[in-house]
Each structure stands twice: as structure tokens, then as C-alpha cells.
Chain A
Amino acid sequence: MKPETLLSDSKLKAEEELVKRAQHNPEAFGELYEIYYQCIFNFALKRTANVQLALDITSITFLKALNQIRKFRWRDVPFGAWLYRIAGNEINDHYRRQGGKRIASIEEIAELADTGDYADEINHAEEELSRHEEFLLLHKKLAELPEMYQEVITLKFFEKKKIREMVKILGKKEGTIKSLLHRGVEKLREKMQ
């Protein structure tokens, strides 16, 4: 099963069965975890441009999903869309707590890197991230916009989501999303001048 937020009817049915099993069976939740871990982590990374923060957001997302899955009611929306929403809310909450500023730059994070047994992987990831200069520049400007614009621009351009998928993830109408995209890109353009 591919990690998608827009599934065909048969795949949606299969996922519904898996989610129902996961509500009572940790191993079934593990299957969902394996399907969606990578895309949630990369989504968090694209929103935050910070490897350690993206890892934390990913951890919180799955912990919250596990804690709330028994209350999860299937509404013919892919499970991935729910995870994206949790992750997006966590990211927004994080920045609100920090007063809208990122707590550290990439360089500062490199100094704070822990010496745990996956510190090497994090260091390599940070190095890899730092090579994407154009993305980091766009992200820096994007981070100055209100979170509603950051969300739609990240999902549309960095996550390559279709509008229909964004409707399911954000729980907003298609017209609203298009309007946010239009205004968001305009504001980003102004920031980049």
C-alpha cells in the first residue's frame, strides 16, 4: 500500500480494514506506521527545514495517533490525511509557542546535535539538507508568512499534493484552498523582492 492521501475505492476499503484492526492491535498500527512514517517525516522536514525538529514532530504525530486511534472514526478519508493534519497542527503549535520564530538555525542545530546512537545519521541528514540552498532560501521566506499560507504552499509545491488531497488533509473547501494559495504565493513573492 502506498502512502497516499488520495486512494481508489478498493485501496480505501483495504485501509479502512487495516485501521479498524489497528484500533485493537498494535501490530496493525505498526503497518500503518511503516506506510506513513517516511512521508510524515519528510512533510515535517519541509515545513520546518530542521531535521531534529522534524523527528520530534514525527514522534509526536505517531504517539498522538496511537493514543487517539481508538476514537478515530472512519469517514472515507485516507488515514494519511489525518496524520498530516496532526503533524501540521503540531508544527503550528510549536511555532506559536516559540513566538513564531524558529528556535534554532541549521548551524545552531549542528552544535546542539546529540551524541546518541543516531547522531551520525542526523549529521548526514543536516549536511544533505544544507545542500538544498534554493529550498532553504524559499523556506526561510515562507516561514515569515502566516501558518495558513505556509501549510498550503508546502502541501501544494513541496509535497506535490493535488487540491483534492489538500481538501481532505486541511478540512477546507477547494475554493478556500485555491484562494489561500493565490494569496500565499503573492505574499511570498513580496517577501522575496
Chain B
Amino acid sequence: MQLFKRRDIIFIRAQGKKMKKDMLIRKLENVEIPELLIVSHREKLKVVLIEGTAGMRRPGKAPMPAGDFIGAISDAFNWLRAPAWRAAAASGLALFIVAAVLAAVFYVAGPSPAVIAADVVKKDPAIQQRLTGSGEIIIVRVDVRDGMASVVCCRGMGDFIEADVDMNVRTVVQTRRYEGLFMPELPQAEQDKAIQIALSDIRVKDLINSGAQIGRVFPIFSSISNMTVVNGNILKVTPAASQAVVPVLLNGKTWLVQVDLEEMKIERVIEQQSNSPNLFDMYYLRQNL
């Protein structure tokens, strides 16, 4: 029979404890986690949150006191949880209460001046005519000061228009056109990085092995780091490109590999269809500018 010294026993117990803790950690890391979705609830809650405020502008109405808000939440839950036969009776009242609460949150200011100015520009027929390019009008920047707004907008790959909006009468009073200089090349190092990320995808590797070639890498930017007027009539836009598209071409077909340069990963790989819009129009995204 083997005799253990006391310190050995303590050591063995400690080792045993450590192993069990390691096992528990592995179990926690590897346990299958439920990921569920209740679509109806998501849709209903959105209606309660968002659409209940539509058109509900009641100037002069005092915000609901906190206690009534709690009651409104409770009513909202009862509406969400009630069986169908009770929901028919309760839904109208609950919706009204919740909508009144939510309207009180939004009624004071209504849309911000920037939103109003952007809306005026988008709807101005003269601007719609002056803008070149195709697609929706994109508002690039809005600057509101002293009752006037300066709105820079563009459409597709066209030029930029800068519009001055009189906020008192909500009308465009002056416009200036700038030739757009907004598509700088990605630095070579970034292009190489994008290609390396794309090549980590098995589909891209297969295409390359089949004889595909890499096309010109171009940036996707989600924000603008700088916008300056150059020589009086050229608007130079410096993007902050965190993503890029690597085209892969084989036998007349193109695959577009969208990569995230910061997180060093592939967002998606799409086979461009022959009847799809121009590559640049589709992927030279100007979201959230």
C-alpha cells in the first residue's frame, strides 16, 4: 500500500480540483447554446415601439408621468401576451396608451433640422434634375447654422450638389455643383491585404486554381474622414475605407469578394449576375456618410 505524505495528498486534491475546473470550463465553452427567434413577437413589438408614433404629433401635450408610463408598459405587455380573444378587446386601448406615451417622447422636437433640410433637398425638383448619376439621392453631409442649412448630396456615381436651404421657409435658395473626386485608390498595401484575405476563402482558392484572375481592388467606405473643395469646383472626398471588394474573374464571370480590412475577414462572396447593375454603382457604397 502506498503511503502518501500530507502535502502530497493536498497536492493531489488540488490537482483533482483543477482538472474538474478545466473540465467544467471546457463544458461551458462547448455546450450547445439555444438560439431561437419568435418572429411574431419581434414584428409586434416593433409595431408597438415604432409605428405607434406615426403621425402622433400633439403640441402642448404634457409628457406622461412616470407612473402612467409603467402602466403603459404593463398594458403593452398584456397586449403582447394576451390570448387572441382578449387581445381583441384590449388591443385598442393598449395601443392608444402606448402610442400616447411614445408620442410624448417624440412630440417636442419632431424631426431634427438636419432631417428636415435633407428632406427638403431630396424633394426639390430642381435638384433632382441637376443631379447626374442614377439611383436614390444620397445625403452626404448636412450642416445647420443660424437658420440656414448646407446640404451636400449626390446620386450614384454623379457629381455632388451643395444646396443652401432656408430653414424658415424650408426652400432651397442656392445650389452649387462640384465635380466629384471621391474614388481614390486604396494604397497598395491595403490592396495586397484585401487580396490575401480573399485568398483565404476556399471558393476563391478553387477559382484561382481553375485559372481565375484577380481584378482591380476597390474600396467600400462607410464614412468620410475629410471633404474639401479644391480649385473652387472640385469636391475632394477622402473616405475611411474599412472594407474592400476583390473581383475574381474567370471565363467572363465575376465573383465579388467583400472583405473587412480591419477584422481581416471575408464578409461575403457574390457571383455577379450578367443583368446586375454596374459593378461600381452596386458596390461603391456610400452608406452612413
Contacts and interface: CB of A to CB of B under 8 A. Distances in A.
Interface of A: 8-11, 13-14, 17-18, 21, 24-27, 29-30, 33-34, 37-38, 41-42, 45-46, 51-52, 55-56, 58-60, 62-63, 66-67, 70, 114-119, 121-122, 125, 128-129, 132, 134-135, 138, 153, 157-158, 185-186, 188-189, 192-193
Given A8-B262, A9-B242, 11 more contacts: A10-B223, A27-B50, A37-B42, A63-B49, A132-B32, A134-B27, A157-B31, A158-B33, A185-B24, A188-B24, A193-B20
A29 B49 CA distance: 9
Contacts of B112: 21, 24-25
A55 B42 CA distance: 9
Interface stretch (B74-82, B182-190, B228-236, B276-284): B74-82
A128 B32 CA distance: 12
8 contacts: A24-B111, A59-B77, A63-B76, A114-B82, A115-B85, A118-B39, A121-B39, A185-B24
Contacts of A192: 24
Interface string B165-199: 00000000000000000000000000000000000
B62 interface: no
A42 B36 contact: yes
B38 interface: yes
B262 A63 contact: no
Interface of B: 17, 20-21, 24-25, 27-29, 31-42, 44-46, 48-50, 53-54, 69, 73, 76-77, 80-85, 87, 101-102, 105-106, 109-112, 115, 221-223, 240, 242, 262-263, 287-288
A30 B270 CA distance: 28
A115 B34 contact: no
Contact of A29 (B32, B34, B50, B288): B50
B33 A25 contact: no
B40 A117 contact: yes
Contact of B109 (A8, A24, A59, A134): A24
Nearest to A56: B77
Given A10-B242, A125-B36, A135-B34, A117 B223 contact: no
A13 B241 CA distance: 13
B240 A33 contact: no
Contact of B84 (A30, A117, A132, A158): A117
Nearest to A46: B33
A46 B34 CA distance: 8
A153 B80 CA distance: 31
A10 B109 CA distance: 29
Nearest to A24: B112
B37 A38 contact: yes
Contacts of B40: 117-118, 121
B21 A186 contact: yes
